[in-house]
A and B are shown apart, each in its own frame.
Chain A
Amino acid sequence: MLMLIKNGRVIDPGNLDGIVDILIKDGKIAEIKEQGSGVRGQGSEVGGQRSEVRVIDASGKIVTPGLIDMHVHLREPGHEYKETIESGCLSAAYGGFTAICPMPNTTPVNDNGQVTEYILKKAGIADMVRVYPVGAISKGLNGKSLCEYAELKEAGAIALSDDGNPVSDSQLMRRAMEYAKGFDLPIISHCEDLNLAANGVVNEGAVATRMGLAGIPNAAESIMVMRDIAICELTGSRLHIAHVSTKESVQAIRNAKKRGVKVTAETAPHYFTLTEEAIKGYNTNAKMNPPLRSSQDREAVLEGLADGTIDVIATDHAPHSYIEKEVEFDQAANGIIGLETSVSLSLKLVQNSVISLTDLVEKMSTNPAKILGLNIGISVGAPADITIIDPDFSYKIDSDSFQSLSRNTPFNGWDMKGKAILTMVGGKILFDEMQP
């Protein structure tokens, strides 16, 4: 079947920006045409043949290469009551993502080819968004010995990370970065000095002091950001810093980039949307690691997004059930879900003139693709992985309507403007909320 996306503003940074029509044939982009220059609706003449064409009128909408969330936690294998690979994929599709990278902290840990293959097999059965698993840096995430990176890569792992468990041993981190270089795999680092973070549960500062909660200082993150940048300089490997939350980290990454270090970085919508104030009332749905920081940190993250220091927006989608969240604040599990709120929250950056729409597409598609070595984009012959965004779609976030099995979001009930309304992977429409 043929499909025609017409009248939309197509933004593929560095390649295309304008009102063009996209013709999709056999799951691939077959033609890209200036508006109204030939490809028409039903029954039109395409490539010399008459065939059925489904027309998607994207007038007033933004058409982008498929969005990629390079930092999610699917809880399968091990904790399927929080999220399965299937529910996570569905959640991604409903959020506008065509590809996701699940972190390895499952049970068992994705530290060997068999687990990677299992994840990909399940993803294949789900047959929805593309799943690119992240393998572990160290066996069992224990920070003691290296995993078999060749086997992980062969099985389909696209990057390496001990996310959730920082690599405390600097020598292990050095060797991991060097060893990964041999397989051209990027290292994604969860930067946290565990001794300094100690028993902290929220950002160290006035809010923590008032609430009587143990604090985590900014330095617990930035020390490790600086260490990993130093190791990256030493080894010349590819380093990607996960979930940047502090102004010192932003500064360190900015300086490193100026020196030409091959470091990239991501932040999550909650770090540029919320501050530590969100935990007031002991809201466990605002508890995550790294913690929500001060308003100065949030400002610095926004600046980092604006000037390109922060390359990627990734959600750190971390599903937890009520069992882990309806408990004492200091006992509550870290993390919030993000797949189904990310696009709307990120569009706020455009509405508030922090970044342009083009920047947004870069940070949610082009840059993650570059970092992960994925070949995507709106070009003839490329797979039709496409997201359509309605920048004017007004709605209220309702966590009960989420596809994710979990509900742990601090954004429930928020009024939003702008949303992903169609997700297509390989020409197959997975989610469609377009007004007919």
Chain B
Amino acid sequence: MQFTKKDILDMESLSVEEINLILDTADRMKEISIRPIKKVPTLRGKTVILFFYEPSTRTRISFDIAAKRLSADSLSISKASSSIVKGETLADTARNLEAMKPDIIVLRHSSAGTPHMLARLVKSSVINAGDGMHAHPTQALLDLMTVREKKGKISGLHISIIGDISHSRVARSNIIGFTKMGAKVLLAGPPTMIPKDVESLGASVTYNVDEAICDADVIMMLRIQKERQKSFLFSTEREYSKVYGLTKERAKNARSDVLIMHPGPVNRGVEIAYEVVDGPHSIILDQVTNGVAVRMALLYLVSGGVRNADAD
């Protein structure tokens, strides 16, 4: 199949076939990163702008490495180093970037919907690297890739996502991505962190973390941000950790073949115990490794994807 999407904005707009194509392409891309010379000329002459309005280490570096391994010219702009601090609007910044003829703009922004706005304004491909609480499709795709790699399938699996669902774009994209691929998604956390009518996205909800842990094939823990205390979403980190955290004891009740995931950055000892992060079920670093492969696949596919990645 031919990939025809110009932009990667969210998981909703990707079909099952497109997701499978992205994952298959990523599987093939992964090999490039373990070669002694980690570079193919596939995107030679293409320009990729990494436009990061919000701080990010993992995602920005991952995109940067992905672009470089495909021989694209990549450059980063942050909010502080852009004209945004001089009062330029996002729309005007986008028009100016477009005038320099980039091929792909990767956008990370604190406001939901900004990649959609950018995609309407520019001819370049837009890849959403996380927009507010809305979507983080490349994270969901790398999570799908990692689960498929470890379990050999996605359909029929029980995925439990635990933590602050309300504020999590990772949760939203994974709910949509995993259910689209035939998995069952169960959300768990304090009621203050479960957004209204989230069942309409296709997930079930429990307030009992133990219930979410016992039957899960995959447990995905979400980061708890301390500042949420100020908006009364939880009492203390101590209580959160005790009631909703993936403690060592709780992890023992999970299935023997459970996969434990976390999109990072991890708050060790808060939402997930030290021992569990480093434990045998943790695939947290595999997620990071696959992130590069997924982003290589996406850069390649939105660029037209006419040439086989291995052909050069």
A residues sitting closer than 8 Å to B (CB atoms) are 198, 204-206, 208-215, 217, 281-282, 323, 326-331
Contacts and interface: CB of A to CB of B under 8 A. Distances in A.
B196 to A, nearest CB: 5
Given A208-B196, A209-B196, A327 B90 contact: yes
Contact of B113 (A198, A217, A328): A328
Interface in B8-26: 12
B132 A206 contact: no
A330 B112 contact: yes
A213 B133 contact: yes
B231 A328 contact: no
Interface string B224-240: 00000001000000000
* Pairs of residues from A and B, 9 with the lowest C-beta to C-beta distance, nearest first: A212-B134, A282-B113, A328-B111, A212-B133, A206-B197, A206-B200, A212-B112, A209-B195, A329-B113
Interface in B64-100: 89-91
11 contacts: A206-B197, A209-B172, A209-B200, A210-B201, A212-B134, A213-B112, A215-B195, A282-B116, A328-B109, A328-B113, A328-B117
B112 A211 contact: yes
Nearest to B135: A212
B112 A327 contact: no
Interface string B95-135: 00000000000000101111011000000000000011111
B198 A330 contact: no
Interface of A is mostly: loop
A327 B91 contact: yes
Given A198-B231, A327-B91, A328-B90, A210 B113 contact: no
B116 A281 contact: yes
Contact of A212 (B132, B196, B197, B200): B132
B169 interface: yes
Contacts of B89: 323, 326-327
A215 B133 CA distance: 12
Given A198-B231, A205-B197, A211 B113 contact: yes
Contacts of A206: 196-197, 200
A282 B91 CA distance: 14
A214 B166 CA distance: 9
Given A205-B196, A327-B91, A328-B113, 5 more contacts: A211-B112, A211-B113, A212-B169, A213-B113, A328-B111
A208 B201 CA distance: 11
| Most interface-central of A205, A206, A212 (chain B CB within 10 A) | A212
Of the four ranges (under 10, 10 to 19, 20 to 34, 35 or more), the interface on chain B belongs to 20 to 34
Nearest to B89: A327
A210 B10 CA distance: 11
Contacts, number: 66
| Most interface-central of B90, B112, B116, B200 (chain A CB within 10 A) | B112
Nearest to B176: A210
Nearest to A202: B112
B196 A330 contact: no
Interface in B179-216: 195-198, 200-201
Contacts of B198: 209
Nearest to B199: A206
Contacts of A327: 89-91
Nearest to A209: B195
A323 B88 CA distance: 11
A163 to B, nearest CB: 26
| Most interface-central of B111, B134, B135 (chain A CB within 10 A) | B111
Contacts of B112: 211-213, 282, 329-330
B90 A210 contact: no
A189 to B, nearest CB: 26
A85 B197 CA distance: 43
Nearest to A328: B111
A212 B130 CA distance: 11
Nearest to A279: B113
B81 to A, nearest CB: 19
A211 B198 CA distance: 11
Contacts of B201: 209-210
Contacts of B172: 209-210, 212
Interface string B219-260: 000000000000100000000000000000000000000000
